[in-house]
Amino acid sequence: MAREYGKIEHGFWTGETGREMRGNPWQVRMVAAYLMSCGSASMVGIYYLPLQLMVHEIGCGLTIDGASKALQRLGELDFANYDADQEMVWVPNLARVQVARTLRMGDKQRAGILAKLQELRKCPFVRDFYALYRDAYCLPDCPDDVAQKQEPMKALQSPLQARAQSTERRDQDPPPLSTGTGWQAAPKPHASAAEQMSGYRLVARFGILRAEVFPECLPWNTARDSNGDAHSFAQMLAPEELEDIDATMRLALEHIRAGAEGWKHPRMKDPSFAFGAWKSGFHGLREELHGARPATRSGSTGHARPEGAGSFAQTGDVKL
């Protein structure tokens, strides 16, 4: 669930790092402020952050390439570290600002920090956090099951470099499965990134893909996993199901766009209702995606719903 607010100390603008940022493009300071205050951020400063989401929420003409360069510069300033493979960011000083500079052994916030670090144990940044805050927060030794860095941090790529590398991978990998609708399944995401899935990330990802399929609609910026149902759904998904999240979301949105059979309910243009329909019809969408059931027909009349569609959106799980 997204936090309600984030702190930015006045020293952010006048401190040593802030002064160093002044000679850089505006994108550097904008991204730095966003990393400190965005809804995705966690109390430990380690969180999942796709570049597309950051660019979408900042706006102001920021591009993917501009965001990548800004993150790279912030890494050089030791302000933030970004893992492009896992799409995870760590802002080392964020915990000092959002939590405290030091914590005593009996402080109740320690339990929340340890629980969050355990949740993020597949991210190598967790080891860095233990090393930085072990004494200040009276933390135990880093658990053995926390991921270790296998190689030095990769430099962020420009969109052209990423596209070239993606083309090389497609030459080596088998072709994606056809859905029968003219759209093809996206490449499978990094496994460790999928393990970090939560309800908020599901909602945010659906909003990003909806903006691509319905570019004429306003961005969906106000969705919240108000009672945690989306998070519970995310936690129940098996690894192979997590890999199909993007593909099934896009397939559902394409069906809505085409007025396909079972997806022509009048409220399907409502993003909250559409998100609920995707969740309710997730299993059927996967079967269609992998050829286990016939492709959904387009242009059918009537308001038939996907299995269970509507019930999820009506429970108050996602709020506008």
Q: Tell me the pLDDT tens digit for each residue of 85-141.
A: 889 999 999 999 889 999 999 899 999 999 999 999 989 899 999 999 999 999 999
Position 292 scores a pLDDT of 82
Bigger pLDDT: 247 or 15?
A: 247
Q: How confident is the model at residue 74 (pLDDT cuts 50, 70, 90)?
A: very high
Average pLDDT over residues 60-80: 92
pLDDT value at position 66?
92
Cβ neighbors of 233 (< 8 A, separation 6 or more) are 199, 202, 279
pTM (predicted TM-score): 0.49
Instruction: Extract the tokens encoding 155.
Output: 């430099």
The predicted structure's pLDDT at residue 45: 94
Q: What is the average pLDDT across 291-306? A: 59
Buried b (16+ CB within 10 A) or exposed e, 92-129: bbbbbbbbeeebeeeeeebeebeebbebbbbbbbbbbb
Whole-number Å distance between alpha carbons of 57 and 275: 19
For 133-184, write each residue's pLDDT tens digit: 999 999 999 988 887 765 444 444 443 344 444 444 434 443 333 333 333 3
Percent of the chain having pLDDT more than 90?
32
β-pairing, 46-48 vs 81-83, is unpaired
Say yes or no to pLDDT of 261 above 50.
yes
Query: What single string gives the DSSP state of each residue in the chain?
Result: ---S-----THHHHSHHHHHHTTS-HHHHHHHHHHHH-TT--TTSEEE--HHHHHHHH-TT--HHHHHHHHHHHHHTTS-EEETTTTEEE-TTHHHHHT-S---TT-THHHHHHHHHHHTTTSTHHHHHHHHHTTTTT--PPPTTS---SSPPPPPPPHHHHHHHHHHHHHHSPPPPB-SSS-BPPPPPPHHHHTT--HHHHHHHHHHHHHHH-TTSPP----EETTSHHHHHHHH--HHHHTTHHHHHHHHHHHHHHT-TT---GGGGSHHHHHHHHHHTHHHHHHHHTTSSPPPPSS--S---STTTTTTGGGTSEE-
- pLDDT tens digits, residue range 214-257? 888 876 755 665 556 777 788 788 888 888 999 999 999 999 99
User: Residue 307: is its pLDDT beyond 50?
Assistant: no
Q: Name the residue among 167, 182, 159 with its Cα closest to residue 250.
A: 182
Share of the chain above pLDDT 70, in %: 72
**For all residues of the chain together, what is the average pLDDT?**
76
Query: In this predicted structure, what is the pLDDT of residue 230?
Result: 78
| pLDDT for the residue numbered 87 | 92
Least confident piece of the model among 6-10, 202-206, 309-313: 309-313
Residue 24 has pLDDT above 90, yes or no: no
